[in-house]
Amino acid sequence: MIGHHPDNQVPELKDYNLYASDPVLRRSVQRGGAAWREPELLRQGAEYGSEPVLRAAEDANLYPPELRTHSATGQRIDFVKFHPAWHTVMAIARRNGNANLPYTDTRASAWTAYGASMFMHSQIESGSGCPTTMTKACIPVIALNAPLYAELAPKLMSLEHDPRDIPLAQKTSITVGMGMTEKQGGSDVRTNTTRAVPVGSGPWGEEFLLTGHKWFFSAPMCDGHLVLAKTDEHGSSCFFVPRWRPDGSKNPIHIQRLKSKVGNRSNSSSEVEFKEAWGVLVGAEGRGIRTIIEMANYTRLDCALSSAGYIRQGLAQALHYTRNRFVFGRYLVEQPAMTTLLADMALEAEAATVLAMDLAAHFGSTTPQDVAWRRLMTPAAKFWNCKRAVGFCGEAMEVFGGNGYVEDGAIGRLFREAPVNSIWEGSGNVMCLDVLRAIAHAPDDAHGVLDLLQDIASQEPELLRQVHLLRSALMLPPEALEAQARRFTQRLALTAQACLMLQQASPLASGAFIASRFDPDWGPVSGITAGTAQAAELVRAATEG
């Protein structure tokens, strides 16, 4: 039969195990003390890489959510309709513990186990990560309101996904979102104008009616949201605002529109108006920003994990493609320039993974050293991994050539997803300024972190030089240091990555990382490593460990 045969076209990467094929992730789980979770992570890895799940992820993004503001009879319903594939990936995330594992399991290493699941889930479908991670992050915040938490805890800890849009009392599990920013201020939430008027006390505490708006209301289909609003007496406060009032009536949270986003299309983001929406106080009145920022600290960890997942998936796709594409007499992976590029990408993926997974492990401890690391490195890791993922996914797309710039494969969606983590929960400048604020708030803690890095780097002259440069920067006047916020945060993140690589990676990988990342020529483009022979070994180790 005469016809077209797609010879030398690379088949889709599918039916593989994301966990078993990732030696860096496996080592991170072992190092974080979560070996007890390995059988479950192997199951999850096979599930995430299976063709049915890949098709569900694809469909969830191909058929985005739809807003229905009114019923057929003219009643205000503010309902977001999702494709069934969305509920499939949400159910997977919930079942795999992404919404609550660190709170259903009291072991410190549960944070490492959680990090591994979030890392894998984000590689396959990222939109469902938004309501899932916010639900997990809200748990310690809602716990500040004891009677509310007693009512919601069983629903928050559930491993089931309940898609029904019904009052809280009837739900088997719930999701919780966040409403912070407004159109006039964005990240400057001090300029918020939404007002909260007290109306008495009820079984869940002090009750208020909220009037105002939110420019970005994350995941409006969630069963409740933590919302910033100002009271006349004490200023900005945090409130739990459910979709349905306790009496079973619809809470007047009017969805104005769903955002038309560059990526993250499976997830609904919205603008809303509150028309005397009912809510209850969470935390102390007047302490709302500090209260809700506690939630943001947890979601920033997830941004670092998720972006590390994007980087890993970009590498996995690039390795699969180049190992199966035959050009100019040999496989693409064997072409010297490509080998060097892939080696550099492998180093980037390993460093991003160890930075994020190590940070997750620190969330499981309350020792002063761990708290100090967490305070400084959460914004730094969020800034660096998210920033690096954007360029990395573009580089991965380029490996595919024209085949990468079409919607038929996973690489295009990965490319569109990457920027959201750099923006969500604080853009790059906000993260760098938060690093400086952490230093200003607890300078002894910051010097303690640098002491730890110096101890690890004691036998590496270049790394010691980087630590000394960080210490010197801390001596600058505040305004001068603020002007160098990005430079300082980049150096901090790279130095931390290099130290973690020294502790966890092979001598070849850690040596190549240090040699390349602190080379004056490094930065403008990827593909700067120590040589072709070493590069081939780095590429091999990326999946074979």
- Residues 433-475 pLDDT 10s: 999 999 999 999 999 999 999 999 999 999 999 999 999 999 9
Q: Is the pLDDT of residue 4 over 60?
A: no
73, 320, 332, 343 from 540: Cα distances, Å:
62, 12, 14, 9
- Cα separation, 362 vs 378, in Å, equals 10
Confidence (pLDDT) at 542: 84
Q: Quick: pLDDT tens for 364-415.
A: 999 999 999 999 999 999 999 999 999 999 999 999 999 999 988 899 999 9
Q: What is the pLDDT of residues 240-255, one digit of tens each?
A: 999 999 999 999 999 9
Look at residue 2 in the predicted model and tell me its pLDDT. 46
Question: Residue 503 falls within a domain, yes or no?
Answer: yes
Mean pLDDT of 534-541: 86
The reply to whether 16 falls in a domain is no
Structural domain includes residue 529? yes
The verdict on 271 and 297 lying in the same domain is no
DSSP string, 258-320: E---SS-TTS-EEEEEEEEEEEEEESSTT-HHHHHHHHHHHHHHHHHHHHHHHHHHHHHHHHH
Give domain status of residue 4, yes or no. no
H/E stretch holding 178 reads strand 176-179
Q: Output the pLDDT for position 408.
A: 84
406 residue type, one letter = V
For the chain, the maximum distance between any two Cα atoms, rounded to a whole number of angstroms, is: 82
Q: Do 306 and 272 share a structural domain?
A: no
- State which residues form the domain around 234: 174-286
Neighbours of 330 (CB within 10 A): 9
Say what percent of the chain tops pLDDT 70.
98
Task: For residue 247, report the phi and psi dihedrals to the nearest 5 degrees.
Answer: -80, 0
The residue from 245, 267, 286 where one domain ends is 286
Token output for 467: 């630590």
Q: Are residues 138 and 62 in the same domain?
A: yes
Q: 56 with 183, same domain? A: no
Whether pLDDT at 11 is above 90: yes
* Count: domains in the chain: 3
Question: Are residues 386 and 432 located together in one domain of the fold?
Answer: yes
Q: How many residues belong to the chain?
A: 545
Residues 233 and 300 in one domain: no
Judged by average pLDDT, the poorest of 289-293, 394-398, 501-505 is: 289-293
- At a CB cut-off of 8 Å and minimum separation 6, what does 502 contact? 456, 457, 460, 463, 510, 514
Tell me, what's the pLDDT at 188?
85
Whether the full predicted model's pTM is greater than 0.85, yes or no, is: yes
CATH, residue 401: 1.20.140.10
Q: How confident is the model at residue 515 (pLDDT cuts 50, 70, 90)?
A: very high
- Check whether residue 205 and residue 336 sit in a common domain: no
The band of 5, judged by pLDDT with boundaries at 50, 70 and 90, is: low
Q: Give residues with Cβ within 8 angstroms of 294, minimum separation 6.
A: 140, 141
Domain C-terminal end among 123, 156, 189: 156
Give the residue from 208, 232, 228 showing the smallest Cα distance to 216.
228
Summarize pLDDT for 76-93 with one digit per residue, the tens: 999 999 999 999 999 999
pLDDT for the residue numbered 269: 94
Lowest mean pLDDT among 47-61, 151-165, 289-303: 289-303
DSSP string computed for 127-167:
TTHHHHHHHHHHHHHHTTSHHHHHHHHHHHS-SS-------
The pLDDT value given to residue 526: 82
Residues 55, 33: one domain?
yes
Tokens, residue 202: 């009820």
* CA distance linking residue 106 with residue 342, whole number of Å: 39
Please indicate, yes or no, whether residues 229 and 130 belong to a single structural domain of this protein.
Answer: no
Q: Write out pLDDT tens, residues 386-395.
A: 999 999 999 9
Same domain, 66 and 145: yes
Residues 189 and 147 in one domain: no
User: Is 67 part of any domain?
Assistant: yes
**pLDDT value at residue 240:** 98
Kindly report the average pLDDT of the chain as a whole number. Answer: 95
Q: Does residue 7 lie in a domain region? A: no
Q: Note the pLDDT tens digit of each residue in 113-155.
A: 999 999 999 999 999 999 999 999 999 999 999 999 999 999 9
CATH value at residue 259: 2.40.110.20
**Angle formed at CA 385 by CA 470 and CA 186, multiple of 5 degrees:** 95
Measure the CA–CA gap between 221 and 351, rounded to whole angstroms.
36
Alpha carbon of 73 to those of 69, 81, 243: distances in Å?
12, 18, 20
Query: Where do we find the tokens 């569900």?
Result: 56
Does residue 244 belong to any structural domain of this protein? yes
Single out the residue in 286, 310, 344 at which a domain terminates.
Answer: 286
- Whether 393 and 419 share a structural domain: yes
Residue 49 has pLDDT above 70, yes or no: yes
pLDDT of residue 151: 97
Close Cβ partners of 54 (under 8 Å, ≥ 6 residues apart): 12, 14, 124, 410
Please tell me the least confidently modeled range out of 154-158, 187-191, 397-401.
187-191
Using pLDDT thresholds of 50, 70 and 90, give the confidence band for residue 96.
Answer: very high
Tens of pLDDT, residue by residue over 223-233, are 999 999 999 98
